[in-house]
Amino acid sequence: MKSPHIPLRPLVLGCIALGFSALVLKHAMAGDSHYYTPVNDPVVKEECGSCHLAFSPAMLPASAWRRMMNELPQHFGDDASVDAATAARIGRYLAANAADVGGRGSTKLLRGVNPDSAPQRITELPRWVREHRKVPDWEWRHKEVRSKANCLACHVDAEAGHYDD
């Protein structure tokens, strides 16, 4: 009895499609727990992203973003000053997409935090601390990490809003 001939090409294409679907599904599922709407304003991306990842506004409440924008000359030890028009545009964008106004992922990091007294450092939010507690101190000091704010060192899709391991 002759065995049936199974064409290889459709099998290969099917495997590729299955793999791609698994990748997309992984991100869709992760979106429920570790997804924050990424910055989509080109000015915010350029100005904030020139020194660090342009963090999703949904990671902090509007009050924290307003305080941060008012303290740009002392932005975590650096002078991040921009002209008044640029500062106003960035401030409006951050406040309009902040955690307490419904940015995607907004309730996750701020659960149990008073929006009026939330820290400006995302890395000081209780949920962030809880989710990163097992990372040893030496990893934060690694030459490719250097800071708890360097999300891209471990979360390669952070710029797209995905913060999975």
| Closest among 164, 99, 98, 102 to 131, alpha carbons compared | 164
User: Residue 68 in 3-state DSSP?
Assistant: helix
Helix (H) or strand (E) holding 11: helix 8-34
* pLDDT less than 50: residues of the chain: 15, 21-32
Please tell me the predicted confidence (pLDDT) of residue 29. 42
Q: Would you state the structure tokens that stand for residue 136, as one six-digit string?
A: 């040893």
Q: Whole-prediction pTM value? A: 0.75
DSSP 8-state secondary structure symbol assigned to residue 111: T
Please tell me the predicted confidence (pLDDT) of residue 155. 92
